Every structure is written in structure tokens, then in C-alpha cells.
A and B are shown apart, each in its own frame.
Chain A
Amino acid sequence: MNAFYTLFLVLALMLIAIFGVGAAHLNGLFGVWLPYAAAAVFIGGFCWRVYKWATIPVPFRIPTTAGQQKSFDWIESNPIDNPSTTRGTWLRMMGEVFLFRTLFRNTQTKLYYEPGQEPKVAYFSQKWLWLFAIMFHYSFLIIVVRHLRFFTDPVPFLVNVTEQLDGIVQMFQPNFYMTDAMIVLGVGYLFIRRLTRAQIRYLSLAADFFPLFLILGIALSGIYMRYIDRVDVATIKQLTMGLATFHPVVPEGIAMSFYVHLFLVCALLFYFPFSKLMHMGGIFLSPTRNMANNNRFVHHENPWNPRIPPHSYAAYEDDFREPMAEAGLPLDKPLEQGAGE
């Protein structure tokens, strides 16, 4: 059900763009003002969220230790999965961000039946999620980098290189980008997985389907523009450069598919800071991953640390002085003195 609602929502968004530009001729709104607003909300919202997180204290150092601690020289410690230094922590974090290391280790638990025996709990390596997730995220990143050519003049070297590498498989005219296919595949898998795996379907919310459809919509409209509609890139660049240089212009003759594409991107930017997509910023602030396991040798300060003293020994002795004396346990205050109080 959730999947349907959100699919309709994304389709509705596309219709809004079509009507807005096609019927109401609000080209300025859809081509300039909405993109500006979306960019502002995205940048402002993103920074605000990260800033909010960063201002909350981290009272305790609680890394999840996924390997041997550092103890003796003769016991090999795991400097990345159980880091004791900043360098190790940094490497661990980079592994998470760039390689999705934790996800790579994912397993799937099943009950495995053999005839006549009690079922066995079996663990299967489960790398599909890692594979498609990493494919999706990197495709997205490369596509974003490629799109920088619309906002820069001259186009930076790195953007050109990325573009050329991405288009290295020359299959169609115009040049076919691998990432265009990969992002659709990646999102497709994430979607299908949510529908077909009973457990995942059960825990999925509308908020899990919506970004998938939205991104799929963006990718497909982009693909349509480029390979089928074959829009005029020069006029589009005129508009985007106008945006980038804060001298907005809305040239005539830009295809409708561009406006649909752009509007969906705006929707994504608007939505981003309020959604789970903030995991992009949040991962850097996750205390179980961004801290070293060095609490036993490097002091960590809790800014709100209360000072709650234990029940004191004096009170304890007062409570038990007599039996302690009888048992011959040493006392701080001799029996006679203590009894007087």
C-alpha cells in the first residue's frame, strides 16, 4: 500500500510540472525560483541538521568493537575495526563511507531443515544489498559530478574525465553513460527487495518508498531527455549557467521533459533535510563508529557529567559495625566509638 501511495505521489509531482509549464506557462517559477528555493532549503536544512547534531554532547565513548582490542605488543590488535588511534578511527570511517564495509559483512539468517533432525540456524553471506547499494550510491555521485558541466564554464578537468570514463562503453549515439543504467538497476533492486523479502516489506514505510520512486523518476526522466527526447543541451546550459551565476534567464524552447526532470530534483532537494536521507551526514556523527576504543587510557570528558558519590564506606561501616567486628574484619572506627553515635 505504502508503495502505491508514494508512486502516485511521484506521478502527481510529474503532472504538476507538466501543467505548470505546459498549461500555465510558469517557466520562470519552475526554471528559476523553485530551483533556487530548493537549493536553499537543501543547503540550509542539511547544515542545520548537522549543526544540531554536532551541538549535542557525546557523553560517553561507545564504539562498537569489531575486533581485538589493543593490549599487549604480542597480541595482534585490530587497528581498524577496534581502533585505538585517530588514524584507525579515520580509516574505519572511510571504510564505511567509501566502501560500505559493514554492509559488506552482512549475513542472512535462516532456519535450515534436514530431514529427521532439529533445524539448524544457518548464516548465509548476503552481499547483494552491498553490491546494489554501492552501485546506486556511486552512480548517483558520478552523475552529480557529471552534471557540474551545466554549472561551470569552462568545465573543470575532473568533470570532463568523469564524463569520459562514464561513457567509455560506446554503445549508442549520443554517448551512453554506464551510470545511467546502473542507477536504475540499483534503485530497482532496492525497491524489489523491499517488496519481495517478507521481513523488509513488513518494516518498510512510505518514507522508504518515496525517495526510491523520486530518484527513479529523476533518473528515468533524465534518460528520456537524453536518449529519446534528445533535448537541446545548449539552451539548458544557458538556463543552468544563469542560475549558477545568479543572472537567471529562461530561454525559449526548452523541452518539457527537462522541466519534469528539474522539478523532481527540486522535490528531492526539498525533501532531503527532513528525511532519512540525512544518513549521508549522520554517519559521520555516529558515536559507535567515529570514536576510538581508548577509554581505558585516554580520558574522555562528559560535559554534563554529574558527581554522584557512592554510598560511602563510613555509612556502610555504621550499618554493619557490630557484625564486622565480630567477624574480625578491620574497622575504621573502633566499635566503642562507632556505637556512641
Chain B
Amino acid sequence: MAAKVIDKKDLLTSIDYEHLPKTGVFDTPIDFRPGTWCYPAKPEILEKLHFPNPRVWSPADVDWKLPENWKEIVHNGFKERLEKYRSFKVFLDICVRCGACADKCHYYIGSGDPKNMPVLRAELLRSIYRNDFTMAGKILGKLNGARVMEEDVLKEWFLYFYQCSECRRCSLYCPYGIDTAEITMMARELLQLVGVNINWIMEPVSNCNRTGNHLGIQPHAFKEIVEFMCDDIEEYTGVRVNPPLNEKGHEVLFVTPSGDAFADPGIYTFMGYLLLFHHIGLDYTLSTYASEGGNFGLFTNSDTMQKLNGKMYAEANRLGAKWILGGECGHMWRVVNQYMDTMNGYMQGPQMTVPRNPITGTVFNNAAATKMVHIAEFTADLIKHGKLKLNPSRNDHIKTTYHDSCNPARGMGLLEEPRYVLKNVCNNFYEMPPQTIREQTFCCAGGSGLNNDEFMEMRMRGGLPRGNALRYVVDKHGVNNMACVCAIDRATLIPLADYWAPGVKISGLHELVANALEMEGQNEREYNLRGEAFADLMEEAE
């Protein structure tokens, strides 16, 4: 952890839901203290992407070096989006400020800052909407909650729309389904127009565009990484796997977030996939060109999202793959489930067919349009048909719980499949309290491109509800592992757990699957995929 994190006691005592600022919503000065905002995008990155207004600036500066006519740009961009998205217009129009969403946001729960209530987050934008686009707002002005666009308003947008992880928990509780995540997306698009954005999103976007993945891993390096993983797999399990890369003529193209190829503990999940595919003899290939399932375009604007997403179909066509299998990723699946076929369905080549599991014969009718299956669905189907030889007792040192990632939970509804898999590979599974899982799940507080170090204070604040729920099962059941199906989670939940519930490890689902697999020609299996001896782990657990 790079940045010094706020002391836990200070954090907790600073939260006060009852005593609100004396000043009104729009009169409270904004506080750009470090730890609550992310660094802006570097100019060379915006130039590469042909994005507007590349320059060196900092949110802490007084002058943000906006283009001269920035107000006009924002106003026109606003108007354009009101005409393109019914969701945007309806959500701006019908909020009754009932406050049902107010205390549902993890950033609000962990900060007590009223502008982190989803309703007020939206009001930051709605106030401008009223003034610029509604009659009542124009006539009644401030009395009706309208205000005029100023530089301070734009700064406030930057602060609070990058303190929203687009997790949609608020929309679950809103009686009209108002989704503040949707409003945040629009706000971020508007900010993009005048060059106000963050590097942690724009750099992955730029990398992904050129090298095929967020981390900028070039093709030869990607191959090396995969080979390293194969070596590790061989060392720990005695089985040599040989995953094809960029090969034509295979049935399935497998795409997973590049975080899994790079960072600990994601790599163990990647190794898990490789072992699983070897176990069942899947006819598949990986691709270095489409080596990213995640899509930071979702956090940028819809055009960028479409551009990055298109690679999967383009590559499936080039390689002649019939369908695509997608790895464990959160927002990747939001994009696949809600946008992919709409945006890029036209790209699908004639060779693509409704996915069918070649091992079990199951036809994935629920993926008939996208031609893309979630790995948890795939593995659940394999287990259901008894196609995996499993020895879950190898995971007996683990007492695991399961963290639902926001996107698969509230943007897809993938709740049971991963649980089914998890329960089949781990004998000790405990759920966190019901208000914090499944569709009510809490964000890791680093979603939507906020998983950087400089944002650590807000991440720990937003991590309070998840951390608290985790702490609960640690105290009650001695849980020592939290599994998840999201690459960002695998990175962000580690500091979160260290801070709020020390001693809990984070793992992907398929890491645990692979540790339980009985492979043909395996060794004694004394080590897990992390290279830790099972015997030691058992002892530690007791």
C-alpha cells in the first residue's frame, strides 16, 4: 500500500449520520483533501486516444485549465445525452427525494458526507439540468433547487462522480429504479468532453486499445507469463498444461481480465482455468490480441466501451472460434450482459453458434445472442453432470465466504452458479449477513476504475460495510477466505480485508476449483497453486 491510510479510529469517529453541515447542499465548500480523489490522466495518454484537452493539471490546483468555451461544451453534451438516453432524462425528472437510496451507498455509509447519498450525488447534476433545461427551474431558480454552471460545480462533479463506483446498490432500493450509476456515467462522459478524467482509467483504456489489455502486456510478454504459469502448475501439481495462444481452428476463445495474468492472487485463478481446461480436454485458445475481458471504456464513454469490446468478436472471427468463454470479472460481465450484443452483435461472424458445452452437451440458451458464456456457468454445468473429479477436502483448511461483485449481482443476476461451484469444491462455506450479499451486496469500494492507491482513504471508508460483514463471519465462524469472481475485487479486497478484517485471504473461484481437481498424472499434490504446502495450511488453520 503506497499511500498512508487514515487511522481506523479517526475514520470511524468521523462518521456522523445525524449532524449534517450547517450549510446547504450547494453552499458547503468542497474539500479536495488527498485520499478522496484520483490523479488526472497524463496528457500523452489522452493524445494517443485523441481525447480532448490533454494537459498537465491537478484537482488540487485552482486553475484546471479548461477549454475557453467549456460551459458551452458541457451544455451541448448534456443536451445531446438527454436526447439519446431515456434513462438519463427520466431519472433526472422523477426523483421525489424520498431518501430511500440515501443510506444505501457504501461511500456514504463510510464517510457520512451527505453528497455521497445517491440522491444528492444526482442532485449535483440535476441542479444544472433544472436551470438549463426546465421551465420551473428557470423561473424559480434556487428555490426549486436549480443553480448555474460554474467552475466550482464542475469541480464538485469531478469529486463526487469519481466517488461513485457505479455499483447500482442505490437503484435496487429506489422505488422508481433510479440508477445513480447511470447518472454517474453521463456525468463522467460530460467531464471527458472538457478533459477532466483520471489516469487510472485512461491509461488502461489506452493500453487496452493498443496491446489488447489494460496492463500493456505485449504479445511476447503475455506468452512468457502464460509459460511461467504453466511451469508453476507443473511444479505444484506435476501436470504439464499447454494452452494454445492465438491459434486458429479451436472451438472456444477464452477471454479473461488481464489482471488475472498479472497480479497476485489473480494469477492463481488464471492457473486454475488452465488446469480445468486441461482436465476436461477443452478445445480452446487464448488470444494476446483479445487478452482483456475487463473494459474500462464502460467508465469512460459508450464509444470507447464499444471500441474495446469489439475485439472479442473480431478475434473469434479471425480465429474461427464458435463461441467465447469469459473468465471471472465483474464489469466485463456487466458489459457482456447489458451492452455487448446491442453494441457489437453485428460483428459476429457466421461461424459463431449458440454455445454448447462440448463435454456435457448442454446448450447455453441463455447466451444465444451474445455467444458468450460465464466460466461459473460453464463449471457449474460440468460439476452438475459429474464431469469433474473433485477432492474438496484438499481445501479443508479454508473456511470461505463469498463476495458477490456488484456487476454480476445487480447487472446480471449471477448469484447461484458461483455458489454452487464453491460449495462443491470447499466443504466449509459461510454466507455473510443477508443485507450484504447477493443483490444487496456491497461494493469493494474500488470499482469503476477507482482501485488506485491515491484513493485509499475513500476505499477504506467505502469498504466499511463489506469489511464489517466480513468481520462478522470471521468472529462467528472463523472464516479465513473470501472468494469472488472479479479481478478488481481480487486486488481491492486485500487491503480492505487487511484493514477491516485482518487475517482473511482473498481468492478467485477457479483457484479453489483447481486445488480440488484430481488431475490425471498428478503428483502427491502437496502444494496449492500458490506454492503453499497443504500440510502447513492445515496446521495454521487448526
Residues of A within 8 A of B (CB): 2, 5, 49, 52-54, 56-62, 64-72, 74-78, 81-82, 84, 96, 100, 102-103, 105-111, 118-121, 123, 129, 133, 197-208, 274-276, 278-279, 282-283, 285-289, 293, 295-302, 304-313, 316-317, 319-320, 323-324, 326-330, 332
Contacts and interface: CB of A to CB of B under 8 A. Distances in A.
Contact of B307 (A5, A123, A197, A311): A311
**Which has the most chain B C-beta neighbours within 10 Å: A65, A299, A307?**
A65
Interface stretch (B260-268, B311-319, B394-402): B311-319
Given A208-B96, A279-B176, A329-B288, A71 B25 contact: no
A286 B176 contact: yes
Interface stretch (B10-18, B62-70, B153-161, B511-519): B10-18
A49 B93 CA distance: 10
B311 A310 contact: yes
Contact of A64 (B84, B171, B341): B171
Contacts of B189: none
B431 to A, nearest CB: 15
15 contacts: A57-B86, A58-B85, A62-B182, A65-B410, A84-B366, A102-B174, A109-B17, A111-B15, A119-B12, A199-B114, A200-B102, A207-B145, A208-B96, A296-B336, A296-B366
B540 interface: no
A309 B310 contact: yes
B428 interface: no
Contact of A310 (B134, B314, B465): B314
B342 A105 contact: no
B443 to A, nearest CB: 14
B439 A67 contact: yes
Contacts of A68: 413, 415-416
A308 B12 contact: no
Contact of B176 (A82, A289, A313, A319): A289
A306 B469 CA distance: 43
B529 interface: no
Nearest to A204: B97
Interface in B152-205: 168, 171-179, 182
A295 B306 contact: no
Interface stretch (B218-226, B273-281, B488-496): B218-226
B536 interface: no
A152 to B, nearest CB: 31
B120 A203 contact: yes
B303 A308 contact: yes
Interface string B53-86: 0000000000000000000000000000011111
B168 A198 contact: no
Contact of B84 (A75, A108, A304): A304
Interface string B18-49: 11110001000000000000000000000000
A35 to B, nearest CB: 22
A298 B99 CA distance: 35
Given A199-B17, A295-B369, A310-B307, 14 more contacts: A60-B338, A64-B172, A66-B439, A67-B415, A72-B384, A109-B465, A203-B99, A203-B102, A206-B143, A297-B365, A302-B342, A309-B310, A310-B309, A327-B220
Nearest to A78: B413
A200 B340 CA distance: 39
Nearest to A106: B100
Interface string B86-120: 11011101111111101110000100001001011
B444 interface: no
B175 A199 contact: no
A98 B364 CA distance: 35
Contacts of A119: 12
A6 to B, nearest CB: 9
A56 B177 contact: no
Contact of A72 (B102, B307, B342, B381): B381
B175 A96 contact: yes
B102 A199 contact: yes
Contacts of B25: 202-203
B308 interface: yes
A283 B86 CA distance: 12
Q: Tell me the dominant secondary structure on chain A's binding face.
A: loop
Contact of A279 (B15, B96, B311, B369): B96
B86 A53 contact: yes
Contacts of A205: 97, 144-145
B314 A312 contact: yes
A123 B440 CA distance: 11
Closest 4 CB pairs of A and B: A69-B413, A282-B94, A327-B220, A288-B177
Contacts of B224: 327
Nearest to A289: B177
Contacts of A78: 413
Given A302-B343, A305-B343, A330-B246, A75 B103 contact: no
| A67, A204, A316, most chain B CB atoms within 10 A | A316
A316 B19 CA distance: 56
B318 A313 contact: yes
B246 A285 contact: no
B477 interface: no
Contact of B114 (A107, A203, A274): A203
Contacts of B100: 102-103, 106, 129
Given A203-B25, A288-B177, A293-B412, A56 B84 contact: yes
Contacts of B362: 72
Interface in B409-431: 409-417, 420
Given A205-B145, A289-B177, A295 B119 contact: no
B328 interface: no
Contacts of B21: 202
Nearest to A125: B435
Contacts of B173: 102, 105-107
Contacts of A202: 20-21, 25, 114
B380 interface: yes
B413 to A, nearest CB: 3
Contacts of A62: 87, 179, 182, 338, 411
Given A308-B303, A316-B289, A100 B439 contact: no
A258 B176 CA distance: 35
B89 A53 contact: yes
Contact of B210 (A81, A296, A311, A332): A311
Contacts of A66: 172, 410, 413, 439
